[in-house]
Amino acid sequence: MVARSYWVETLGCPKNQVDSDKLEGTLAADGLLRADDPEQADLIVINTCAFIEEARQESIDTILAFDAQRREGAKLVVTGCLAERYRDELVEALPEVDLVAPFGTALTSVLAPSSVAVRIGTKPGNGPGRSAPDFDLLNLPRPAARAPWAYVKVAEGCDRNCGFCAIPSFRGKQRSRALDDVVAEVEALGAKEIVLVAQDLAAYGRDQGQGERALVPLVQRLDGLVDWVRLLYLYPSDLTDTLIDTICATEVAYFDLSLQHVSAPLLRRMRRWGDGERFLARIADIRRRRPDAAFRTNFIVGYPGETEADHDQLVRFLEEARLDWCGFFAYSPEEGTYATTLDGDVPASLRDEWLHELRELQDGITAEARDALIGTTVRVLVDEPGVARSFREAPEIDGTIEVPEDLAVGSFAEVAVVDALGPDLVAERVRP
């Protein structure tokens, strides 16, 4: 019998990529092969994102595009955040989808309609509405890394209640994985770089009664196993001295701080900790230890009640902090969140003006930071022929470094930076 094949299309954040890898692991365990292209696949799985309106629209567009190109008889499954949040609405609105599968649904059931199939979210009239045998995606096996780096999710869910965020409402409370399980996954992946992700990474282990410090032994252990360990999404109040020391002791002095804003009153309205002064002090602490440390953060622009004064504070912060990388996101009201109960809507035109100003300012700061690297030698990991990264660039998020094509993929090399083009660098082999 010819093995059936699948295609998994992933949208959204790195955490979704990990879920997709795990889905692939289970599909492979069920005897399916990865198709060379979606038109050949018997099963197409769209792992969606529901973070903001734009992401939801992209998810819907992708579902429709794959529906149009699937071959006769192929099954179309929608999973991920959109399926979790809007299951019933999707079932109603997208009759072309064969299965709307929340996290952990056994997807291959859709290929065997007569078996004890999982019917959660199938089209009305298409099944008896059985409940899914939920399994925890977190601890499922996944295929070996395809790139020299891989995301590893160490916890699912979040115990915070940030005003703008709907994630805890559908991803649930934080569930951290056991350290040994994470280590085993990292060993099996065989990647040179591991990028640790979670909704609230610095809180890893807290739900297991491990207090504030569970991330430290995890990073130390992984640092002995792989060349680079990178951490994404650190909530600033959990950035303890011990954690900073631990990160600075590795090769990857990269700090992805989840700041969202710097104005104290606005942060309180977001139900978040901190203010610009505290953040600057922490950044200075890190730079004292590692002057070459790289920083990334994200800000929300146009949160209800944001004023010109709040915006000016953010501008001054950027000028002072001189972070390497910043993302700016337009506030998007999310159903059921605290923020939607607040007054003080920011007009879209003003929000867009602020976004433009912030992006332009930060582009200049990023470009200056990149220009300053010209003439230096950096150690890079080669991701694909001619494309590499140093510790300063997180995969898929930050800039890249153009390197000689003959450097082997998956190898480390010392290269000399000779040029900068906005966020990207150009480097040559170091001459003896």
The upper half-sphere exposure of residue 151, i.e. CA atoms within 13 Å in the direction of its Cβ, equals: 22
Nearer to ligand SF4 (CB atom), residue 160 or residue 213: 160
Secondary structure element (H or E) that encloses residue 25, with its range: helix 14-29
Nearer to ligand SF4 (CB atom), residue 86 or residue 233: 233
Least distance to ligand SF4 from the beta carbon of 154, Å?
A: 14
Nearer to ligand SF4 (CB atom), residue 154 or residue 226: 154
Least distance to ligand SF4 from the beta carbon of 156, Å?
A: 11
Question: Which residues, in sequence order, are CB contacts of 265 under 8 Å at separation 6+?
Answer: 305, 310
Distance CA 204, CA 200 (A): 7
> Tokens in use for 6?
């699948």
> Tokens in use for 170?
């559908």
Distance CA 80, CA 24 (A): 14
> Tokens in use for 230?
């990178």
Nearer to ligand SF4 (CB atom), residue 236 or residue 399: 236
> Tokens in use for 190?
């065989």
Closest CA to 191 of 152, 153, 140: 152
Least distance to ligand SF4 from the beta carbon of 299, Å?
A: 12
Which stretches of the chain bind ligand SF4, using CB under 6 A? 158, 160-162, 165, 167-168, 199-200, 235
Least distance to ligand SF4 from the beta carbon of 386, Å?
A: 35
Residue with tokens 């991803």: 171
Least distance to ligand SF4 from the beta carbon of 163, Å?
A: 9
Point out which residues pair with 412 in neighbouring strands: 381
Nearer to ligand SF4 (CB atom), residue 135 or residue 329: 329
Distance CA 358, CA 315 (A): 7
Least distance to ligand SF4 from the beta carbon of 424, Å?
A: 29
Nearer to ligand SF4 (CB atom), residue 233 or residue 295: 233
